[in-house]
Structure 1
């Protein structure tokens, strides 16, 4: 009987580490899929805006933002969001709630540059929308993942 108890005790800490690793892997997988979805959605929305006549010209430099640029920037900041979610999963007692507050705050801050860029009204409106598209994909997906990982 002692052999069975010893096995149960030894398996306890290992399963705790496995559980934590599983939670982080699950969050990373969910974050990866959500990042790809956000990149595709944002790039498609930018292509649609361009198709209806929005030119994403940067007023100071006269250059136009290329479609792949939307995907790259969306991918980068989505990965930053996944890292923030992972940190909150590790160190917060309420990771989902804290993530939503943080992500919504950062999204609000991200709306400032299009407003002060000096672009025309169509480009400014499109850029504001293009900031909200990935937020609409990433925030609920990661918050839901954080809730299911901690319950």
Structure 2
């Protein structure tokens, strides 16, 4: 009787763990794609409005905003997956960590060799991506 109970409990636990991870991955990747489109659109609108995308003497392509958004959103998703398995309150830790990291991501923009409007555009793209990705991942983490 105990032999039957143990495999069932293990199977149930594995299924319960896999389902939230699958939801977290799907939601995180969807949010990353949406955030990438949003940041690239914001950069394109800024460029069309006359804001330079030149930083340190070299232009940032609009597609670069999307690529970097996907990369760093995926890093955030990996963080969430690790936290979901290792800490007691992953939602709280994730929100505190990602808000801190978002704030820190603004520092290089402030220090960049770029026009003031360019710096504001860069910071806006960071905040836009965070506003899309952080809540999407957060709502899939346990409190």
Q: TM-score range by the shorter chain?
A: over 0.9
Match among 104, 113, 129 for residue 109 of structure 1: 104
Question: How does the TM-score come out when normalised to structure 2?
Answer: 0.94
Contact map agreement 2:52 2:115 (CA 8 A) in 1: no
Counterpart mapping for 1:79-90 below 5 A:
79-90=74-85
Question: How does the TM-score come out when normalised to structure 1?
Answer: 0.89
Three-state SS of the structure 2 residue aligned to 1:111 is helix
Match among 62, 73, 76 for residue 67 of structure 1: 62
Q: Structure 2: give runs of 5+ residues left out of the alignment.
A: none
Tell me the residue number matched to 2:35.
38
Matched, 1:128 2:134: no
RMSD: 1.4
Contact map agreement 2:31 2:133 (CA 8 A) in 1: yes
Three-state SS of the structure 2 residue aligned to 1:145 is coil
Matched, 1:21 2:7: no
* Count, aligned residues: 143
Tell me the residue number matched to 2:89.
94
Deviation at 1:23, TM superposition (A): 1.3
Tell me the residue number matched to 1:145.
140
